[in-house]
Structure 1
Amino acid sequence: MTALAIGIGLVIGALVGLLGGGGSILAVPALVYLAGQDLQQAVATSLLVVGITSVVAVLPRLRERQISWRIGLLFGSAGAVTAFAGAAVNRVLPEAVTLSLFAALMVGAGVRLLQDKAATGTACTVDDGRVNWRRCLPRTLAGGLVVGFLTGLLGVGGGFLIIPVLVLALGLSMPTAIGTSLVVVAINSAAGFTAHAGEATLDVPVTVAFTAAAVVSAVAAGRLGARVDTDRLRRWFAWLVLVVAAVIATRLLVDLLT
């Protein structure tokens, strides 16, 4: 089980380091179906591991100044509030319903990632590069509130949702969106883990192995990120997300019929 956790951690860390998120959308089903954890334990473990990994992954981007700190902190703070509401809803929903929502969200994310790259938005930018808060603030807060709720409900850090919002709605460049997303994911994961911490007991050896592997992988991936074709990687990740969603849907259908 520890070896399996290390393998999962290496994959999750690489995704977080390269894409600024996306790890938790695979971590939860991997922990449920491969590691045999129940949903509450998988959600809490995923949030802890992805949160720590995001903090580590943001460090290489500090030198490149690829983080919009004010947008990231506002987005993350708004999400921290609604993460507790999402966790409250999670406690009353049947596990099958939660996993069905998770699979549906994965399909939506996968399809979105496969779409051709759209034009960058301009909501937050003006000619001299300063932030136009009159247009940017409402979108930043709205995006943060929605992603934070999904973080608490489904145990996802939300990077695969945050980056499209930062690029298409707020107008950040892709490198800055990835760095800013790591800040938001760290904040959202911390809030989501706090909301779920009392509901599940962590498997300490698995969690430590998972976290260590993810951190090492995230650091290595972050250093390689500048030399990787991110569009190709995004497409590969999209297909992987869709395959995992299909596996979850199949398992749920089999459980329903048996």
Structure 2
Amino acid sequence: MSALVLALAAGAVIGLALGALGGGGSVLAVPALIYLLGFTPVAATTAALVIVALTSATALTAHARDGHVRWGAGLLFAAAGIGPAMLGSALAAHLPAGALQAAFATVAAVAAVRMLRPAGDAEATRSIRPGHAAAAGAGLGAVTGVLGVGGGFLAVPALVGVLGLRMREAVGTSLLVITVNSLAALGLRVGTVDRLDWSVVGPFAGAAVLGAWDGRRLASKAKAKTLQQVFALALLAVAAFMFIDAVV
């Protein structure tokens, strides 16, 4: 199967995940770029940031039109992660490929387990505690910078469990956080972006953007809990494969 077809197929799946769940795109993008398209772990994390930044920004506009974005909470959460995302991005360039891959697999597994045990939808949105938002946002930013993930698969549980947002608000708001964190992490990788294989990254990103629109429609029709559980099981399988590959 050609690289173009693989890139289009993977991009569509990742866009669906971002549009429907408000996260999860980059945690699938990185292994897809490594195992299907032959990218190195460092190049894959950079390419994933480009793809996810474009896709999440597109999906954000659709969720914002539906009134599912809490701008104040999202910007506070995202702002706290900008510095850690940039520092993490600088650190990633000095980590061995195996260590980066194992760390990615570990974070993906933790996220999958967390998603299988969802915090549940809040009955009413609680008042936002700035300290909690800043701490959670900083931790998420660091993960984004080091591992090249937008962090939505961690942001959604945090926005629900820590900040008390309803699930649909958390999905929409996480896209704002992902966009800001991804762009911040790319800020320190801008010199390497031109070395990416854009004949692969371009179609990948385009398919992901289109998939994100379908993902938003899917989220409005399917139960959020069901989507989350299916995605978590797939994520757990990917994490196991990546960890075994990193240590063997």
Shorter-normalised TM-score: what interval? over 0.9
The alignment covers a number of residue pairs equal to 245
Deviation string for 1:10-60 (max 9, x for gaps)? 010000000001110111111011110111211111001111101111122
Residue matched to 2:160: 167
CA deviation after TM superposition for structure 1 residue 119, in Å: 6.5
Query: Contact 1:121–1:170 at 8 Å: present in 2 too?
Result: no
**Structure 1 spans left out of the alignment, 5+ residues:** 126-131
Confirm or deny: 8 A CA contact 2:78 2:181 kept in the other structure. yes
The alpha carbon displacement at 1:89 in A equals 1.6
CA displacement at 1:192 relative to structure 2:
1.2
Cross-structure match for 2:73 = 71
The CA distance in 1 between the partners of 2:32 and 2:4, in whole Å, is: 13
Task: Check whether the contact 1:121–1:168 (CA below 8 A) recurs between aligned residues.
Answer: no
- Correspondent of 1:222 among 184, 198, 216: 216
For residues 55 and 186 of structure 2, the distance between their equivalents in structure 1, rounded to whole angstroms, comes to 14
Structure 2 counterpart of 1:98: 100
Which of 223, 226, 231 is 1:232 aligned to? Answer: 226
Larger radius of gyration: 1
- Identity fraction in percent: 39
1:244 to 238, 241, 245: 238
Which residue of the partner structure matches residue 56 of structure 1? 58
* 8 Å contact from structure 1 (residues 49, 207) kept in 2: yes
Question: How far apart, in 2, do the equivalents of 1:205 and 1:89 lie?
Answer: 28
Q: What is the distance in 2 between the residues matched to 1:224 and 1:102?
A: 28
Given that 1:152 and 1:195 are in contact with CA atoms closer than 8 Å, whether structure 2 keeps it comes out as no
Deviation at 1:118, TM superposition (A): 4.2
* Cα 1:13/1:116, change in 2 over 3 Å: closer
Q: TM-score, normalised by structure 1?
A: 0.91
Q: Return the letter of the residue paired with 1:244.
A: V
Paired letter, 2:240: A
Match of 1:18 among 12, 17, 20: 20
SS at match of 2:145: helix
- Where structure 2 has 5 or more consecutive residues not aligned to the other structure, the ranges are none
| Aligned counterpart for 1:112 among listed residues 86, 111, 114 | 114
Q: Is the 8 A contact 2:121 2:166 kept in 1?
A: no
| TM-fit CA distance, 1:2 | 1.2
Against the structure 1 CA distance between its residues 119 and 72, is the aligned structure 2 distance closer, same or farther, given a 3 Å change threshold? closer
TM-score (norm 2): 0.94
3, 7, 23: which one aligns with 1:5: 7
Counterparts in 2 of 1:119 and 1:6: CA distance versus 1, 3 Å: closer
On the 8 A contact 2:29/2:48 being kept in 1, the answer is yes
1-side partners of 2:217 and 2:135: how far apart?
A: 32
